[in-house]
Amino acid sequence: MTLADVTEQFKTAAGKAPNLGKTLKFDFGDEGIVFLDLSKDDAEVSNEDKEADCTISTSIETLAGIRSGDVNPMMAMMSGKVKIKGDMGLAMQLQTLLS
Q: How far apart are CA 87 and CA 62, in angstroms?
A: 21
The residue segments making up the domain with residue 25 are 3-92
pLDDT at 96: 61
Question: Per the domain annotation, does 54 fall within a domain?
Answer: yes
User: For residue 59, what is the domain's CATH number?
Assistant: 3.30.1050.10
Question: Per the domain annotation, does 98 fall within a domain?
Answer: no
Q: Which of 99, 51, 49, 47 is nearest to 73 (CA)?
A: 99
What total of structural domains would you count in the chain? 1
What average pLDDT does range 78-93 have in this prediction? 92
| pLDDT-above-90 percentage for the chain | 71
Mind listing the pLDDT tens digit for each residue in 9-51? 999 988 888 888 999 999 999 999 999 999 988 899 999 999 9
Q: What is the pTM of this model?
A: 0.90
pLDDT at 98: 56
